Structures are given as C-alpha cells and as structure tokens.
Amino acid sequence: MPIAKLSENRYGKSRVRVMRVTKHDDHHDLDEWTVQILLSGDFETAHTEGDNSKILPTDTMKNTCYYVASVSKADSIEAYAKALIDYILSRNAQVTGAEVIVKSHLWKRMTIDGQPYPTAFLRGSDEMQTTRVSKTQNGAFEIASGLDGLYVLKTAQSGFVGYIKDSLTTLPETTDRLFGTVVKAEWTYTPQAIAEGLDFNKVRTHLRETMLATFARHDSLSVQQTLFAMGEDALAHTEMIDSVYLLMPNKHNLLIDLARFGEENSNHIFVPTDEPHGTIEATIVRG
Amino acid sequence: MPIAKLSENRYGKSRVRVMRVTKHDDHHDLDEWTVQILLSGDFETAHTEGDNSKILPTDTMKNTCYYVASVSKADSIEAYAKALIDYILSRNAQVTGAEVIVKSHLWKRMTIDGQPYPTAFLRGSDEMQTTRVSKTQNGAFEIASGLDGLYVLKTAQSGFVGYIKDSLTTLPETTDRLFGTVVKAEWTYTPQAIAEGLDFNKVRTHLRETMLATFARHDSLSVQQTLFAMGEDALAHTEMIDSVYLLMPNKHNLLIDLARFGEENSNHIFVPTDEPHGTIEATIVRG
Amino acid sequence: MPIAKLSENRYGKSRVRVMRVTKHDDHHDLDEWTVQILLSGDFETAHTEGDNSKILPTDTMKNTCYYVASVSKADSIEAYAKALIDYILSRNAQVTGAEVIVKSHLWKRMTIDGQPYPTAFLRGSDEMQTTRVSKTQNGAFEIASGLDGLYVLKTAQSGFVGYIKDSLTTLPETTDRLFGTVVKAEWTYTPQAIAEGLDFNKVRTHLRETMLATFARHDSLSVQQTLFAMGEDALAHTEMIDSVYLLMPNKHNLLIDLARFGEENSNHIFVPTDEPHGTIEATIVRG
Amino acid sequence: MPIAKLSENRYGKSRVRVMRVTKHDDHHDLDEWTVQILLSGDFETAHTEGDNSKILPTDTMKNTCYYVASVSKADSIEAYAKALIDYILSRNAQVTGAEVIVKSHLWKRMTIDGQPYPTAFLRGSDEMQTTRVSKTQNGAFEIASGLDGLYVLKTAQSGFVGYIKDSLTTLPETTDRLFGTVVKAEWTYTPQAIAEGLDFNKVRTHLRETMLATFARHDSLSVQQTLFAMGEDALAHTEMIDSVYLLMPNKHNLLIDLARFGEENSNHIFVPTDEPHGTIEATIVRG
C-alpha cells in the first residue's frame, strides 16, 4: 500500500512576457503583458509514474500565449485571458480547469511639442492592471480584475488616535501624518455581467478613478477606514461587481526628530521606509 | 441601508527584521529573522466608523517582535512564533486569531585556519527556513514549517519525453536535460506531534536532507514525478507530519545551438533563464 | 618599513532617504530624494591606526541630510546638494573635498474630477532626476545633472543593417525593429553658468524634452546614431552645458517566429527581455 | 561646422549568461557565469552617419560568449576572459581595445549521505568571483580579479569611539557593536605575474581566506582600519598583486531600546537595516 497520495495539484507557465504592437494607419498602440497559465486535471500518473501522455508541456503554453496574442485581436486583458483559456480547454480534454492571470504594464504615448507622437512611448509607473480568469470545462467564466502596485500618498486628512495602549506602545498619536500605500485591488464581476458582456477597460478606468478620489478626499482615521470607504464607493459605482478585495500596506514615513538640532519639525521632513510595513487587507461585499 | 459590508479581513505587521546574538562563554550564535504577524478579530467598527479602540497598532506588534525575541530564549523559529502568539492573544481579548510567519536567513560560522571562529559569520544562500504558526483564542496551535528559496540543479538523471504534441509544440524531447528549481516546501505537523512536543530543528534538518537526497538520486521523467517522490519520501521519513506542499518552478537552461558555428553541443553549454519558467505545485498527503 | 600604504580613499553615507512636504496655503508640494555623501580628506591615521579624531561619523552625515533639508528651503536638488556640501566643508577643515549625489523620485499630483488635488499624490515611473555636485575646500562647485531610468520605446523609424557579418553572426538585418532603452543622461554645466547661476529645474525640463523629441523623431540606423543625435541636440539647446554623457542599453524585444504556427508575424508580437542587453555609452562634447 | 563631436565611447553586450557543464567520467563540474564585453575603436561614423560597417553586432558578441565557452576549455574566469578578448581582437581590426568582465556564481556540489554527489548541486550565497580583463590590439593583458557580494558579520572585536562630535551628532560611542559588511574586493595582478602565468583560482582562494581571517580576527576600531588591515594582509600574502581596492559598506544593525519595556539589551537584539548605509572605499598599494 502506498504511503503517499497526490492531493491538490496544478502546473503551468509563469512570467510569459508578450509585447504587442497594433498598427493603425496613423499611429501604433502598445501592450506589454506578463501572463501566467495554471492547469488542473487528470495528472495523477504524471506524478506517480512519470507518465507524460496527458501533459501539455509548459513550453507549449508559452507558445500559446504568443499565438493567441497574434490571432485573437483581444481588446482587453480579460478578452485575451478568455481566448487563452478557450484555446487550451477546447484542445485538451484531460484539463478540467484553467486559470489565467494577465498583468498589463503601463506605457504612455509620448507628447512631443504638445502633440501625441504616433509611434513613441514612455514607460509609466510600476502600477499594473490585472485580471484573473478561470473556467472549468463545462462551467462559466469567473473573472476578477484589478490593479496592483498603485503607489499613492496623501499629505493631509490622515490621523491615527484612540488605539490600544499597553506596555509595549511607543507610537505617539497624531492627527496629521503622511499616509502612503501601494494599493492592490481585485474586484469580482457578477455572473450576470460576465454573461451579458461588458466593457472591461471602461469599468476598470472608472473603478480606479472612484477609489483614487475616495483615497484623496477621505478624512482618514485609519488605513482600515479608508480602505473600507474605497471598497464601498467601488461597489456603489457599478452593479457589475459584487465584491472588492483591497490590500493596502502602510508604507511608513517616519517623522524626523529635528528638536535635537534646535529645529522644529512642522510635519515636513520624513524618512520614507520600506520595512517593516503595516499590512491591512479586507474584502468588502454588497451589504 | 448600507450598500457595503465588511467580509474577511486581517491586519498586522510585515517584514519586521530581528537580529539576535546569543552569547555563550566561548562563542556567539546568530539568528536573523523576518517576521509577519496577522490578526483576525472584532475590527468591524474600525473599518466602518474609524473606531480604533480595539486596534492594537502594528507599531506595537513590531515592538512585540523585539521584546519577545529578547525574553523568550526561543530555540527555534516555531518556539518564537508560538511565544509571539501567546503574548498577543493573552493581552488582546478582541483578537480572535493570530498567524505568525517567521523566515530565518542563513548565516554560517566562519572557518579560519581550519577552526570555527567563535564570533564571525558568513552569509549563506538565499534559502530560508520558514514556519507559519496560527492559533485562535481557545484553539490549539497549528504549525506548518518548511523552507523557501532552496535553489538546486542536477546535470544528469533528468529527461522529458512522451508529452502531448500539437500544432504549437516546439519543445524537442530529451533524455538528458538540466533540471534546476528553487524549492519551496511546507509540511504540516500533526496535532498529536504538536501536542506532545518535538524538536523542530532536528525534524527540519532531516526532512531537508531527505528531500535533497531524493532530488539528487531520482531518475526524473518530469518535474511532477520528482516533486511527488520528494514529498513521498518526506512523509515516509517521519510520522510527525501529515502533508507536504511543494512548489518547484522549472528554471529553464536553454541548450545553445552550437551547430550553427560548426561545433557540437554535447549538452554542455546552456543559457540559464529566469523567465518564463514552469510552475509545478502539489500537496502530497498520507496515502 | 610598512608593506602597504593608503592610496585613493573616500567614505560617506549612501541611500539616505528624505521625504519633504512643503506646505503652502492651498496646496502641498512633495519631494522624495535619495542622497549619497562622499568625503575625501586627511584620513590616513584612521586607516592605519584606528584614529577616529578626524572622522565625521556617517551617522552625522545622515542627520545633516535631514537638517539641511529642513533649513535650506532648496528649490532644486542642485541647490540642496550645494547646501549640504557648504555645511559640511565649513565645519570640517580635515575634509578636502566632498561629493553629493541626489536622486529625485517622481511624484505627481492627483487629478480628481478633472482638478488637481492639493494634498494627494501618485507615484510616477522609475525615472529619477539626478545631480552630482562636488567641491574642494577652496575650489568652485562642479555640477553634473541628468536623469536615470527613463524607459522609452519606439515602434517605428528604427533599423539595423550593414554591420559586420562573420562566422558567429545570427542576427538578421532589419529596417523595422522595436527600439527600447532605459536612458541615463548626465550633462556637465559650464563653470560660467554655475558661477552666474541658473534655473536648474527649467534647464533640466528642456533638455529632457529635447532629447525625448529627438529619440521619437530620429530615423534610427543604430542606437549609436540616435544616442549621438540626442547629445548633439542637447548641446545645441543651451550654451550652459559643455558635454553630455549618455548610456543607452539596448533592451531587446525578440520577434516571435509565428511562421512555425502558420501565422505571419508582421512585426507585431515580440518577447521583451531584460538580459542580455546591448550597452552603448558615449560622451558628446561641443565641436 | 558641427556643433558636437564624439568623445569617449564604448559599446558591447551585458548580462550574457552562460552555464557550462564539464563532464568527467565519474562526475560533472558546473560553472555559471555572467559576462560583459565592451569594445573601443573606430566607431565615429557609426555615431555621426549611421555607418555600421565597422560595427560588430552585440548579438554576435553574445554568440561569441557561447562559442568560446565551448571551445576554450578555460579553467578559470580569467582564462575565459582572455580567450574572449583574443578571439574578438584577432578578427576585428577596427577594435582598438576590449574589456571583458566575468562574474562567477557559486554552485556547490551536494553532499548526500556524507558523500559528494557527482551530478547534483546547491546554489551558494550571492558572493561572486570576478575578473576584469582588458587589452589593446598590441598591448599586454591587464587583469584585475576579485570578489563581490561577500556578506560577512562579526559580533565581537568591533567598536567605534573618539570620532568628531558636533551639533548634529546623535550616534553614541560603543566598544561593542555588530560589524556587518558586503565586501567588494579587486586586486590588480602585476604585469610580471601575468606575463609569467599563474594559477588564478589558487591565488583567489588564498586571498579570500587571508582577508576573511583578518576580518574575523581584527580588533576593529573602525571600518576604515579593518579595511586597511585586510588590504595590507592581502598584499603581504603574495607578490603577484600590486594593489587592492576594497569597498565595504557599513550594513548597520541598530540596537533596540529595550529599556522602554523594562528589559536590558545586553547587545543581543538588533534591527538589521539596508538603508542608509555607510560607504567606505580605499585602494591599498605596496608601501
């Protein structure tokens, strides 16, 4: 009798990079994507016997990323991910389910002498637009889209008071602190919206603007409160999503003690730090 | 009626770094840890009203890491994580559950003129020893330990044949390829072993050696097969664990086509690559 | 007689991070800088005897970065670097020369509902604005400013033909390739311009725009040719600089062979790569 | 009359990665190298006119790295770099000088059941062995070898007192601190040693051991003093080198103030930090 057996397992290809140039008559568009494909299925004998007869090589998945990028003409990362899944599921009956994650990197058209230049681009920030699409052979698409690496900072309307004090407390209360965070957001589209179809790029743009506006305007009593307000406003913005997950690390900026040098620090000189950082995460759902 | 409500949520402190020097009469020991603490609990009004009265600041969690490192004399990362959780849960009734992840970085004592030097150390590889310990207020400890960043490579006993070929296949079959991977492993201790107590460092060392031996000796037909064999041998090694999760990205080394230059490549010159990479993950449980 | 003696040596502090908030009545401004200070001087006995009596601790240099950021009200990184050097040289006679490098990170004011928001900011790209300022005790300031990490890409007007072919050549000629590079530029201000004073921010903005326009518009026959044209146009733009150093790695985008899959690749699907990369560097001086 | 002219310039290929397996009857050896090639020469018209007729493509340099790795059978990174330079200079009369930098990454043979396993390897630390070899068409080889990324730490025999105190001083004096640094070293071989030939690997190993022993044993009054002692002992070790450059950033470990929590910190709990860091560099020459 075997001592061990296979439980949950997946395999696939990660960090497949694709640069797509779409050539119009008078200008080019540019997309840079990083793709991950993960497959579930009947892979037991692959693990226990080294039987590769049901294994689609990850190298072929890589080629699939390139091929589908060329033939699909997808106008969003969601459409591209769906096309990838359809292609793989339709050709591989041994695969019971597939998940595709696409991250889109920011490129902005250059402005030269006040005019958009048709074929030159500037890399944007480290913010990425993301989607995570999954499907089983006979199931419907599930789509969660979002953004990651959105680094924002507000210099007013942020404080932190009234928290627990104990023998290890050294943090002073403040009603005026910098609030910097690198937002990761992921919202889940409703089955109905997915079934009826929607303009993913448009919804994404609006949700991003909505959450940025809330971040800027919120009179923040804590990261938790601002995070919740951002999720709440996202849900209020559109019926097409039914939940928002937000991860907002607190990227601390430490106030320098200038009094040691005979100067007052009127909350104007800080040390930005990367570690340690607070970690705040929550999922907001429709009430 | 509110449009939104709080669902799953956690908060805490990440990337807290601790360097601990333990001073013995004739030598020092050195530990470098990176710690993450995440708390669950009654934090609803913190999100919805900005009420921080039940919020233990993450800055205090950071101080807790330092304080407990000093007073606990923990002899393993598991013992340290347990002490952190006990300290926080006992003082914070509003916290229903805590999870602590500790990663230990490799430092090796220097050998000078053939002798171990008592107070000088060399940094090791990027391999980390890890533990993930969690507990609810009235529950028992759950402990999953492992390692991460263990970069290994074998130059023989590895091939990949018999896989699916289709119109996008370009990968040639081979019975002689480099097999490089960066192992992440996490095994789950049984409730009984945790209750009775065990030597975490000793078990960790033996499991690591067991899995490395299997990696080296296995006649590998695929990453999946070698991964399963490693997990199987880990489970066979000790009854104290009941499952092993393994993540083994396939870090490809591409064979250079030297024939273009009139040379034969007898599998001796490769280009190591970081992206894209295969991703293979599975959990092996007792059969 | 000693076997060894001290030759060139320097010491200082690196990666000092400063976040400065400047508060106006109706809005805030935000600067994030990373600073390096390196000192030369009479430090021989510090090395040979452990005599620290002439050593200004690097910890004090760090404090100097914070203090000068508060009191100087510098309106440019060049002014800030000069203030740092003046402060240190005037108080440390044993220091014969100082060099300060400041890198400024991009933060952009948020636009909310079409209006600039007074106290909220978005992180920009990884592009940094840089300056390297040096001075000896009785000498004049030398100032070289520039930018780093400016990632740009053009999808047209770029080819590479007519190069040397030999037995190791595999690169096909092309008159239509992607041209991506991460520009590092450093221009040297003339002694006269420094003595008379100038608006560093304004010159920097114009030089950046000039070089971007040349990059976009140039009918590029090689990275070298475009690099030279960019430097030439920078020198033509202003008499205040007398040389431009440019480093432009060739960030290759590899054309995917879709013909293997029965598709034509009309230069629209590429794999962006980070390594290996071409390295092209040159200094352009006034003719 | 042209406004601009070309001054110093170079081009080449960076981050070329090579994995070489050397197959012996009963075991394999493994080398992983990262290579950079930079060429100087008659490239003026390439810059000013886009004339590529004297340009060896960087893609061909990449192929040269692979080809020479296969045919040269080099037994050291120095021999490999020399072979690369000889190959390129002999075939490219337009190239007046070439510099090759090779960095070798650490792989260690696995020990399984107490025995070295012939074909399995473990990645070592981030320490790299380095060489920088240059030559003009009719000149002799110049060779500077060293190491980089050697992260070491001593927990005793290190203090820092007697330094300058001023109004910005906050650092307390200490006779017991952690001394952590990531050593970069580069020694220059004498023309005579290069001409006569030497065992580069053997000298490298001995110089590394010599400097590590000095680091461990030195009663350090400052980083500067320990750095000098290490360079001095390197020069004393062998006549084959005539100078040593050392860069030793001071990787600070901050003592935690446990007294706030009623605990004494007997120099045993620290926070390791990456930034800011001290930077100390010097060249030690024969006295």
Mutate to test the interface with B, among A7, A19, A161 (most CBs of B within 10 A): A7
d(CA A169, CA B62): 10
Mean predicted confidence (pLDDT) in C11-31 = 98
Kindly list the distances between the CA atom of residue A106 and the CA atoms of A19, A43, A78, A125, C41, in Å, as whole numbers in the listed order. Answer: 12, 37, 16, 7, 46
Q: Which residue of B has its CA nearest to A11?
A: B280
A186: pLDDT confidence band, cut at 50, 70 and 90? very high
Q: What percent of chain B has pLDDT above 90?
A: 98
Contact C166 D91 (CB under 8 A): yes
Contact D14 C278 (CB under 8 A): yes
Q: Is C273 a catalytic residue?
A: no
Give the minimum alpha-carbon distance from B167 to chain C in angstroms, rounded to a whole number: 7
Q: Which domains does chain D have, with CATH numbers?
A: 8-139 (3.10.270.10), 141-287 (3.10.270.10)
Q: How many CB pairs under 8 A join A and B?
A: 258
Mean predicted confidence (pLDDT) in A191-204 = 98
Q: Which residues of C touch B (CB under 8 A)?
A: 167-168, 170, 260-262
At residue C62, the 3 state secondary structure works out as helix
Contact B3 A232 (CB under 8 A): yes
ipTM rounded to 2 decimals: 0.97
In this predicted model, what pLDDT tens digit does every residue of D20-65 receive, in sequence order? 999 999 999 999 999 999 999 999 999 999 999 999 999 999 999 9
- Report how far Cα B66 is from the mean position of its chain's Cα atoms: 22
Beta strands in B42-114 (DSSP E): 95-112
Mean predicted confidence (pLDDT) in A97-121 = 98
Catalytic residue among B45, B58, B60, B190: B58
Peptide bond before C276: cis, by omega within 30 degrees of 0? yes
Mean predicted confidence (pLDDT) in C69-76 = 96
Q: What is the pLDDT of residue D69?
A: 98
Check whether D1 has a pLDDT greater than 80: no
At residue A171, the 3 state secondary structure works out as coil
Q: What is the pLDDT of residue B1?
A: 58
Q: What is the pLDDT of residue A1?
A: 58
d(CA C64, CA C87): 8
Check whether B265 has a pLDDT greater than 70: yes
Q: What is the dihedral angle through the alpha carbons of A274, A280, A283, A284, rounded to the nearest 10 degrees?
A: -110
Chain D residues with CB inside 8 Å of A172's CB? none
Q: Residue A234: enclosing H or E segment and its boundaries?
A: helix A223-237
Nearest to B21 among D19, D126, D155 (CB): D155
Instruction: List the catalytic residues of A.
Output: 13, 58, 252
Mutate to test the interface with C, among A64, A119, A128, A151 (most CBs of C within 10 A): A119
Mean predicted confidence (pLDDT) in A249-256 = 98
Give the minimum alpha-carbon distance from C256 to chain B in angstroms, rounded to a whole number: 13
Q: What is the 3-state secondary structure (H, E, C) of chain D?
A: CCCEEEEEEEEEEEEEEEEEEEECCCCEEEEEEEEEEEEEECCHHHHHHCCCCCCCCHHHHHHHHHHHHHHCCCCCHHHHHHHHHHHHHHHCCCEEEEEEEEEEEEEEEEEECCEEEEEEEEEEEEEEEEEEEEEECCCCCEEEEEEEEEEEEECCCECECCCCCCCCCCCCCECCCCEEEEEEEEEEECHHHHHHCCCHHHHHHHHHHHHHHHHHHCCECCHHHHHHHHHHHHHHHCCCEEEEEEECCECCEEECCHHHHCCCCCCCEEEECCCCEEEEEEEEEEC
Contact C17 D47 (CB under 8 A): no
Q: What is the 3-state secondary structure (H, E, C) of B131-198?
A: EEEEEECCCCCEEEEEEEEEEEEECCCECECCCCCCCCCCCCCECCCCEEEEEEEEEEECHHHHHHCC
Cα-atom radius of gyration of chain D, to the nearest Å? 23
Closest by CA position to B38, among listed B98, B103, B102: B98
Give the minimum alpha-carbon distance from C181 to chain B in angstroms, rounded to a whole number: 20
d(CA D272, CA D255): 9
At residue B286, the 3 state secondary structure works out as strand
Instruction: Output phi, psi for A52, to 5 deg.
Output: -95, 10
In this predicted model, what pLDDT tens digit does every residue of C190-206 receive, in sequence order? 999 999 999 999 999 99
d(CA B255, CA B240): 42
In this predicted model, what pLDDT tens digit does every residue of B184-220 receive, in sequence order? 999 999 999 999 999 999 999 999 999 999 999 999 9
Give the minimum alpha-carbon distance from D95 to chain A in angstroms, rounded to a whole number: 33
In this predicted model, what pLDDT tens digit does every residue of D220-272 receive, in sequence order? 999 999 999 999 999 999 999 999 999 999 999 999 999 999 999 999 999 99
d(CA B161, CA B181): 19
- What does pLDDT average to over chain C? 97
Mean predicted confidence (pLDDT) in C243-259 = 98
Contact A62 B276 (CB under 8 A): yes
Mutate to test the interface with C, among D52, D239, D247, D254 (most CBs of C within 10 A): D52
Q: Is D105 a catalytic residue?
A: no
Q: Is B60 a catalytic residue?
A: no
Strands B179-189 and B241-247: antiparallel
Contact D279 C14 (CB under 8 A): yes
Give the minimum alpha-carbon distance from D104 to chain C in angstroms, rounded to a whole number: 16
Q: What is the pLDDT of residue B199?
A: 98
